Structure 1
Amino acid sequence: MNRIEELLADHPDFYAFDDLERMKLAQHARVERFPAGSTIFQEEDEAEDLVLLLSGEVAVQNTLPGREPIQIETLSGGDILGWAWLMPPFRRMSDAIALNDVEAVALDAAGVRTLCNAHPELGYRLYQRWLPHLADRFRAQRLQLLSALSGA
């Protein structure tokens, strides 16, 4: 088992996958490091990767016209960053900024989608794991935007 397969095996969202499935996913993965203060992605960027945070903290934020960016949430090791890779037009809907040094596993989104299409059982499990994160993001974004708007 290579390092990326081990990192996937240790991630709570990949417990449901067997060694062969993790090996197939690892073929589309690489370890990434983002220094503190760096932009991991920006709103409207193409969602080329899905990111599993291993360590560090990331601010997910949105910009409202005429206002400073609103931090929607802070993610850290064990969290999944980004969901726009799941559905067309595959564009980011927020900014992600490294609050401190971040280490992550980035999986190539196009490769993972191809893998999911070729192996529907794997794809179904992957979507089952990602949908709760998606729902959490929508909830957090809604609450932050309501809070920002009520303070206007």
Structure 2
Amino acid sequence: MTQAIKLLTALPQAQRERLMELAEEVSFAEDARIFESGGTADRFWVIRSGAVSLDQEVTTRQRLTVATLGAGDLLGWSWLFPPYRWDFGAVAFSNVRAYEFDGPSVLALCVEDPLLGLSLVRTVAEILAHRLEATRGKLMDQYALRRRGPL
């Protein structure tokens, strides 16, 4: 499997510097819910330290963790695509420090600087493709375990 793509290191330096002008440092305590599936997606984060679990509600009482993100990882991409709603929920697995970006401000910057916009969209697409590949691998492993049945 390929190495995870990190948003800030994947962008060219000049574009990264322009994007970072919009960054705010934030923190989340362990077990803090960062966003809920279906909520308004108007921001994103780049995790500086700690871990975040992405989850999907299976029933009103059960959530399934679909991914765990760590330092350097992009948290949130739904701000980039209509209808701007979160596809998953996110909770701080440990104390988290992150850079937070306001989605509409970043979109306005992308309109102002189309090369930055293209680089950003391409990088987010690569990140999503990598995560999809990783999820596919996990699903295949689960399928193989279930087909074998109890030992």
Band the TM-score falls in, shorter-chain normalisation: 0.7 to 0.9
Gaps of 5+ in 2: 1-7, 147-151
**Paired residues, number:** 138
The match for 1:98 is 92
What pairs with 1:1-152 in structure 2 (closer than 5 Å)? 11-14=8-11, 16-18=12-14, 21-65=15-59, 68-142=62-136, 147=142
Q: By how many angstroms is 1:117 displaced?
A: 1.0
Gaps of 5+ in 1: 1-10
Q: By how many angstroms is 1:30 displaced?
A: 0.5
- Aligned residues with identical type, % of pairs: 30
Q: Distance in 1 between matches of 2:139 and 2:83?
A: 23
Question: Kindly tell me: are residues 27 and 116 of structure 1, through their superposed partners in 2, closer, same or farther at Cα, counting changes over 3 Å?
Answer: same
Q: Distance in 2 between matches of 1:65 and 1:35?
A: 25
Length-normalised TM-score, structure 2: 0.80
Q: By how many angstroms is 1:24 displaced?
A: 3.2
Q: Distance in 2 between matches of 1:64 and 1:136?
A: 24
Q: Distance in 1 between matches of 2:132 and 2:58?
A: 16
Q: By how many angstroms is 1:70 displaced?
A: 1.1
Length-normalised TM-score, structure 1: 0.79
Larger Rg: 2
Q: Distance in 2 between matches of 1:131 and 1:42?
A: 22
Q: Distance in 1 between matches of 2:136 and 2:75?
A: 17
Q: By how many angstroms is 1:93 displaced?
A: 0.4
RMSD over aligned Cα, in angstroms?
2.4
The match for 2:5 is none
Q: Distance in 2 between matches of 1:127 and 1:79?
A: 15
Question: Kindly tell me: are residues 80 and 86 of structure 1, through their superposed partners in 2, closer, same or farther at Cα, counting changes over 3 Å?
Answer: same
Q: By how many angstroms is 1:23 displaced?
A: 4.3
Check conservation: 1:73, 1:140, Cα contact below 8 A. Answer: no
